[in-house]
Amino acid sequence: MGPFSFFRKEKKQKRGEAPRRTEQLTMRQEQSEEVGSGLQENLEKFQQIFSYPLNEDFIVRRLYVRSLRREAALVFLESMVNEDTIERFILTPLGEMDVTFPEGVSCGEAIRNLVHIQNLSEAHHFKDPVEMICQGFAVLVVDGFEEVVMMSTAKTPSRAIEKPQNEGVLKGPHEGFTESGKVNRSLIRKQVRDENLITETIRLGERAISDVTVMYVKNIANDELVQQVKDRVKQIKVDKLQGLATLEQHLEERPYSLVPTILYTERPDRAAVYLMEGHVVLLMESSPAALVAPVTFWAFFQTAEDSYQRWAYGNFLRVIRLISFFIAMLTPSIYIAATNYHTEMIPTDLTLAIAATREIVPFPAVVEVLIMEVSFEILREAGVRVPSPIGPTIGIVGALILGQAAVEANIISPILVIVVAITGLSSFAIPDMSFSLMIRMTRFVFLIAASFIGLYGITATLAMAIAYLVSIKSFGVPFLAPLAPHYRSSKDMIFRPPVWKKWLRPFYMQTEDQVRMKKPKGGSRP
Amino acid sequence: MIKPTDGKIGTRELIGLAMLTVGTKMSDMTPNLLLKQGMTAAWMLPILSGLIIVGPLLLLIHLLNKYELGLIELVYKLLGRYLGFLVAFAIFLVALTATVLDTRSYVDILGTLYFPKTPVYVIYLILVGAIFFVANRGLENIGRTAWLILPYISIALIVLVFLAWGQHFEFSFLFPLLGPGVWDLAKAGLLYNSVYGDLLVFPVFFLYVRTGKDYKKASLIGLVITMVIQVVFMMVYILVFDYHTVLTMVYPFHQLTRVVQLGRSLMNMEAIFLAFWVMSTIVRYSIYLYVTAMSFGYLFKLREFEPLLLPLTALTFMLGMIPENSMYADVWLRDKYLLRFVSIFLPLLPVLLWGVSRFRKKEATAS
């Protein structure tokens, strides 16, 4: 439980004492009650649950079912349903069609033959219909039957499929996930047209329903892994789960760690690739992304583009990214180490040049770097938050103040502008948002180590960082697999082999089908 | 769940560990000892010592495989409670003193060459801190870290050799080829087999290696690789400096990194090699520390030994601060006592264990 267990316990107790809890309990009791046979009585129950006259969204439409010769009522939430569907496929047939049913036909049976609704089911308790109404279903209550009929009429607003905002590519599909769960599922299924692609839903949320969709390919993904992910999702106890980004934080094994262990991607094609490698993909309503678990270091390092570009080009991009990875993490600290502790390392002319520009600067180099780094981080954060009409100002302010004025005012030396600029630029070349933040933060750790004891400090920190990276796991998969520890795989790590050589699924996933295709001639030796 | 990692290491990790522990010895004061004895033929000594150590190593692995026990447990089983305790205690002491003296020696290298103004205890604290952090992640992760950094260390070493070659190799420095003569060489090879002593202590974690076969394979490959590294670097030292000059140097490896240059703009590259060297040092001593803790745990039959890492780290630091300077620690303590003792004790241990095992077997069949 850790050091915070004491507080947690207290919190729980407090919540238990709150009067709201008892209110909720009576509501729960009401919902578990059975549906009666009287129309009025049932309707009153629904109206009570949805606080009828107060809640203006809740609609009760009375009607007469001609075929059954009975009074009925349709209840739904106005804002969640497609009115056209209700009008054309429910109200019209129920009111106009006249079919004779045999004696003793059940309500559901009769309605199923009358309305033109795809998804239709019966319920005998209030709990299900209440939940379904919240999801955009319409519920038909017919007089004299001890059951109600739920019909899917949902229509929620969502934007059109657009380009992914943060994971753009030059070559390859430009579709990104949207806020609609259904659209997202179809985007994935469009890529993985496999009958074994399973979609399961786990219902969370103690007050408001939050559905988590778990997707995996049945005979590829390891069953125990799927079970583990599902169990982990089920363990989450919240009143409402806001979205995927929150879900990610609930699922993580190390919430305080700097290292992300779940991939958050906006691209359906990436999700599809991971599905085919045996990973599990999680989706949620109103979240324009998918979570992929488990993932390794390489998932954060690679982009979709690497695989779409030809072998040589893709690998070139990766080399560039690797370089920017190290530059973004280490440049400021190496600058400090070199200028403060290892001056002999720099060519003499350059040393003199640096010394000459630094002569008029009143601060130690570390302070200079910190000033610049912090300003740059502020610039970055401001750039994200600034209202778009005044966006260009940020560029001007940043370039002028940070670049020119600070140098002219002798607050920082010109060479430092180069250091910070290349560092900042490199950190933009890191594709994943979490990973980029991780590097931006570790940069400061290295900076402190370097200012304390030069390269020795940097290397000691690096050694510890590597040992730490090696030791963490994402759902049981070592983070740096298949490199350390070694597993058989297609060797798609820093470099990738040509596509025809990727005939193995990564073995650390313990997939049920470990081979993608027949081993090609000259294929990589596992 | 995905097959839970069993906390064991495989061939790759073990090779990595062997290379980082034994292979990097050419970067401390070991070459000086070898050169003193072997002179122009000092580069042959690693080969001789390696050949000498192969027998005991294979014997030991054979025994460990047969009994399926770790080194300390095997010692207890074969030698009984009292003698076993003594021998096991000796192993623990060897591990501890090696950790203490070698870390201290490395701290002195750092202090003398790179941070002359920094107090020794600051450098030492940073080193033991990093070592503790890495060791605390467990054997599996030390091994993986070793395997992960291995390619980079290798590249750095290869680059260094080529740069040294570009500098100047005087091949006549290698002659007379046999140095002090065959007899003296053989004696020195026997005397300084402790270079490979680590390989004979590593079986303390024999049970944490996936299979006995893996262990054997990794040990032999590791032995060959480290032999090659040592030979190459001894040769490079002789070729670049001549053996007389090396004897007057304290740290030939660091001298070498200072001498090499790449054109006019990169005249001083020692800081770059320092980075790789520190990295391998940390991993090397984290496994030393881990082995020390483990042998202590097995020695007193403790169920868990990982909580011992912190006290042992503190102990290492305190003991390591005792010697006044590195000359005392290195030349006096390490050379005169530790290496001499280890060179005799460790290779004879497998022979002793094997003898007892044979004797017991005979006794068992007789009765």
> Tell me: the pLDDT tens digits for B14-72?
999 999 999 888 888 888 888 888 888 888 889 999 998 999 999 999 999 988 888 99
Beta carbons of B137 and A470 less than 8 Å apart: yes
Can you read off the two tokens belonging to residue B262?
Answer: 């790449």
Q: Are the beta carbons of B57 and B219 closer than 8 angstroms?
A: yes
Q: How confident is the model at residue A500 (pLDDT cuts 50, 70, 90)?
A: confident
Residues of chain A with C-beta less than 8 angstroms from the C-beta of B254: none
Q: In this structure, which amino acid lies at residue B181?
A: G
pLDDT of residue A19: 44
Output B123-128 pairs: Cβ under 8 A, ≥24 positions apart: B123/A453, B123/A456, B124/B317, B124/B320, B124/B321, B125/B317, B126/A453, B126/A456, B126/A457, B126/A460, B127/A460, B127/B103, B127/B281, B127/B282, B127/B285, B128/B103, B128/B313, B128/B316, B128/B317, B128/B320
pLDDT one-digit tens code per residue, A418-451: 899 899 999 999 989 899 999 999 999 999 999 9
β-pair partners for A280: A293
CA distance A297 to A504: 19
Q: Is the backbone of residue A121 left (phi > 0), alpha (psi -120 to 50) or beta?
A: beta
Q: Is the backbone of residue A172 left (phi > 0), alpha (psi -120 to 50) or beta?
A: left
- Cis amide linkage into residue B176, ω under 30° from 0: yes
Q: How confident is the model at residue A12 (pLDDT cuts 50, 70, 90)?
A: very low
In chain A, the percentage of residues whose pLDDT exceeds 90 is 33
Length of chain B: 367
**3-state SS, residue A212:** strand
Is the predicted ipTM greater than 0.90, yes or no?
yes
Q: Are the beta carbons of A21 and A15 closer than 8 angstroms?
A: yes
Can you read off the two tokens belonging to residue A168?
Answer: 């753009």
The mean pLDDT value of chain A amounts to 85
Residues 6+ apart with CB under 8 A from A425: A324
* CB proximity B313 to A under 8 Å: no
DSSP B306: G
Beta carbons of B137 and A294 less than 8 Å apart: no
Q: Which residue of A has its CA nearest to B110?
A: A456
Q: Are the beta carbons of B342 and B194 closer than 8 angstroms?
A: yes
Give the closest of A345, A457, A508 to B271, CB-based.
Answer: A345
Give the closest of A222, A453, A477 to B118, CB-based.
Answer: A453
The answer to whether residue A136 scores a pLDDT higher than 60 is yes
DSSP B213: H
pLDDT one-digit tens code per residue, A359-377: 888 888 999 899 889 988 8
Q: Tokens 């207290």 identify what position? A: A10
Beta carbons of A453 and B126 less than 8 Å apart: yes
Beta carbons of A463 and B268 less than 8 Å apart: no
Beta carbons of B278 and A460 less than 8 Å apart: yes
Q: Are the beta carbons of B116 and B123 closer than 8 angstroms?
A: no
Beta carbons of A345 and B278 less than 8 Å apart: no
Q: How confident is the model at residue A526 (pLDDT cuts 50, 70, 90)?
A: very low
Length of chain A: 526
The dihedral over CA atoms of A480, A486, A489, A492, expressed in degrees to the nearest 10, equals: 40
Nearest Cα of chain B lies from the Cα of A526 at a distance, in angstroms, of 15
pLDDT one-digit tens code per residue, B68-117: 888 999 999 888 889 999 999 999 999 998 899 889 888 988 988 888 88
Q: How confident is the model at residue B282 (pLDDT cuts 50, 70, 90)?
A: very high
Question: What residues of chain B, 86 to 125, have a C-beta less than 8 Å from chain A?
Answer: 110, 114-115, 118, 122-123
Helices (H), A386-518: 391-397, 406-408, 414-428, 433-471
Can you read off the two tokens belonging to residue B271?
Answer: 């800081």
Q: What is the mean pLDDT of residues A325-352?
A: 90
Lowest-confidence region among A215-224, B286-295, B298-307, B333-342? B333-342
**3-state SS, residue A156:** coil
Q: What is the mean pLDDT of residues B224-249?
A: 89
Q: How confident is the model at residue A2 (pLDDT cuts 50, 70, 90)?
A: very low
Beta carbons of A484 and B147 less than 8 Å apart: yes
Q: How confident is the model at residue A522 (pLDDT cuts 50, 70, 90)?
A: low
A49: closest CA among A36, A38, A58? A58
CA distance B261 to B267: 5
Q: Are the beta carbons of B229 and B157 closer than 8 angstroms?
A: yes
pLDDT of residue B316: 93
Give the closest of A455, A462, A509 to B274, CB-based.
Answer: A455
Q: How many CB atoms within 10 Å of residue A393?
A: 11
| CA A442 from centre of chain | 23
Q: In this structure, which amino acid lies at residue A280?
A: V
In degrees rounded to 5, what are phi and psi of residue B301? 50, 45
Beta carbons of A456 and B286 less than 8 Å apart: no
β-pair partners for A142: A72
The answer to whether residue B285 scores a pLDDT higher than 90 is yes
Burial, A233: exposed, middle or buried (Cβ in 10 Å; 0-12, 13-18, 19+)?
Answer: buried
* CB proximity B166 to A under 8 Å: no
A478: closest CA among B268, B157, B198, B141? B141
Residues of chain B with C-beta less than 8 angstroms from the C-beta of A338: 271
Residues 6+ apart with CB under 8 A from B209: B8, B9, B10, B14, B215, B218
Q: What is the mean pLDDT of residues B330-340?
A: 72
Give the closest of B115, B144, B286 to A453, CB-based.
Answer: B115
State pTM to two decimals: 0.87
> Please, what sign has the CA dihedral across residues A497, A499, A504, A508?
positive
A333: closest CA among A359, A378, A376, A370? A370
Q: Are the beta carbons of B199 and B18 closer than 8 angstroms?
A: yes
Q: Which residue of B has its CA nearest to A344?
A: B268
pLDDT one-digit tens code per residue, A86-126: 888 888 888 888 888 887 788 888 888 888 888 888 888 88
β-pair partners for A73: A62, A141
